[in-house]
Amino acid sequence: MPVIRATICILALSLSACSERPAEPESTGNPESAISDARIDQIANEFVAAYYEHYPETVYEIGYPDAPMDRFGDHSEASTAAWHKQVDNWLAELNAIDPATVDSAATARTYVFAREKLQSIVDRRICKTELWNISPTWTGWQYMFASTLAIQPAGTVAEKQAALARLADIERYLETEISNLRRGQDSGYTAGQNNVDAVAAKITSLVETPAEESPFFSPAARSDDAEFIATYTDVLQSTVVPAMTTYRDFLLNDYDGHAGPGVGANPNGAECYAASVRYHASTSMDAQEIHRTGLSEMARIQSEMLQIAQETFGTDDVKGLLAELRTNPEYTFNDEQHMLDYIRAAVARGKAVVGDWFAHVPDAEMEIVAAPPYDKDSGGGFYSAGSADGSRPGTYTVGTYNPTTISIAGQEATAFHESYPGHHLQMATALMNESSHPIFRYMYVSGSGEGWGLYAEKLADEMGLYSSELDRLGMLSNEAYRAARLVIDPGIHVLGWSRDEAIQYMLDHTTQGMDGVTSEIDRYSAVPGQATSYLLGSLEIQRLRQHAEETLGDAFDIREFHDTLIRDGSVTLPMMGAAVEAWIRRQQP
């Protein structure tokens, strides 16, 4: 929006006025500025606290410490309306503040980020996602519950009581989900039938899993209190399993999803897609432009892949080589342990040299675990942040289903994306930056967040981390994967592509096998726009780096440049650009 762009310009000017970070200009002493600064800080604090009050099931992703621990979110029609009213009020207050009265660069950053985040939430309401959120990926309740309960404390009496209350609350949550889905059907908002089938299958797996092996059992599994374990097991079996069964049976017997994979089948589908791209990628590119960018980038990447194919594998047939890499046992994993060992070795190499490329490396541990049985077919990997105080490590969860069908190529790149120098470094840096406002530590924008992850895969090549040309080809295949997302995501949501077309395009251009590709396409269907954030964000980071290198010449410091990009967390791409411009000015005489 024009007002937001103008505010970003104000932000850039205020940043460049600073001689150093994190030092801030002294207060002007203007009473109006003091009032503006205080209110902006208060609104941002209220927003962060209320967000995780409303969505406590998302805390596992980001490590926010003060969310409710005894329940999941209330997403009933009344609660959602109340949340919308809060968001509207905060946004109205920020819009009423004259940017010229903002006194410091820190407050200017908070002001811009809070406005942009709130506005993106308002704009995305057109999707009415709560009415059709049947998701087989991380936005689905089954994934969020498992991830949340995996970090649920259960040491003290109070913590055990909270864990039991939260577990029992799954019944209420699923009743609300069914009610929302019924309202969605009545008003024309539905999920794709492929995702309905996929989620029903996942829930069946959860229902049939013995209590002690359930991903929801984690608080009890970590306890030696026999009474607590027995009570927790009883709640899981007598309350949660029946609630999940009811939800599953509703999907199978009473829900009809739409035939296509995209949001275009819902009312205002094209508008929803545009708002979703702005929300996730923080860009206003339209669907056609995104699609064209994907095709252009794919051509570039295929050319680079051809060079490795010719020089290392002695072939000009890239498509045939990709098929070979995902089917020939020479290029796939022997078993789950082989896959996990391979990934752990890559992460260890990244961790050993990351200090050569970053001025600040936080002391934060990360563990690598296989996805639980019900979710092993999710493919790829997901990172969840640890705690701000370092007491709980970050977690990289690896999809290990059918490892003999998973190509070795690409796994090192994904490991660097999720760990060092990717998400673990990025998110731990922001999380442990106590001088930063909580809105930067605990809010996430995929454009810079996932853009950084993909940039990290290319940076790992510069760092000398890939162990072979096979793995470098995997890096390019992963980048092709993200280029394919730019082609496919607008394709299925706006341009009329079928699910089969999307699957075939991905198979033709990457090393991913059929299991991974189908789960990816279903993920894109469930979360419109998010898949575009990886390559769009990475391209912007690459552009900013080239600009900084050309402007500064010998004065360019890669370690300081990287710190500038991730110090304030995953801000919007325009804000990241403003921070880099300010850093460039500070380096110039």
pLDDT in tens, 76-117: 999 999 999 999 999 999 999 998 899 888 999 999 999 999
CA gap 430, 440 in Å, rounded: 7
Q: Mark whether 143 and 124 lie in a shared domain.
A: no
Residue 380 pLDDT > 80: no
Residues 361 and 437 placed together within one structural domain of the fold: yes
177 in the same domain as 111? no
> Which amino acid is residue 38, in one-letter code?
A
- Is residue 544 assigned to a domain? no
How high is the pLDDT of residue 257?
97
Asked if residue 334 is part of any domain, the answer here is: yes
Q: How far apart are CA 383 and CA 143, in angstroms?
A: 13
Residue 275 near residue 124, CB atoms below 8 Å: yes
Number of structural domains, the chain?
A: 3
CA distance 572 to 54: 23
Q: Is residue 545 part of a domain?
A: no
Instruction: Please identify, among 220, 249, 266, the residue that sits at the C-terminal boundary of a domain.
Output: 266
Residues 177-236 have pLDDT tens digits of 999 999 999 999 999 999 999 999 999 999 999 999 999 999 999 999 999 999 999 999
Query: Residue 585: inside a domain, yes or no?
Result: no
Q: Do 262 and 354 fall into the same domain?
A: no
Q: Which of 225, 247, 266 is the last residue of a domain?
A: 266
| Statement to judge: residues 196 and 288 lie in one domain | no
Amino acid 326: pLDDT = 86
Q: What is the pLDDT of residues 414-465, one digit of tens each?
A: 999 999 999 999 999 999 998 899 999 999 999 999 999 999 999 999 999 9
- Can you say how many angstroms the Cα of residue 531 is from the centroid of all Cα atoms in its chain? 9
224 and 87 inside one domain: no
Residue 512 has pLDDT above 90, yes or no: no
Token pair, residue 259, equals: 């035939």
pLDDT for 402 equals 87
Q: Indicate if 427 and 518 belong to the same structural domain.
A: yes
In a shared domain, residues 100 and 86: yes
What amino acid is encoded at 320 in this protein?
A: G
Tell me if 443 is assigned to some domain: yes
The pLDDT of residue 374 is: 63
Range(s) of the domain holding residue 57: 2-128
Structure tokens, 360: 């600040």
355 belongs to a structural domain: yes
Last-in-domain residue among 82, 99, 128: 128
pLDDT of 280 strictly over 60: yes
- Judgement on whether residues 90 and 231 belong to the same structural domain of the protein: no
Q: Is residue 170 part of a domain?
A: yes
Q: Are residues 230 and 354 in the same domain?
A: no
Quick check: 8 pLDDT over 60? no
Q: Identify any residues that bridge with 397 across adjacent strands, giving them in sequence order.
A: 369, 382
Residues 6+ apart with CB under 8 A from 574: 5, 8, 282
Please, which residues bridge with residue 304 across strands?
none
Q: How confident is the model at residue 390 (pLDDT cuts 50, 70, 90)?
A: confident
Asked if 365 and 443 sit in the same domain, the reply is yes
Do residues 289 and 319 share a domain?
A: yes
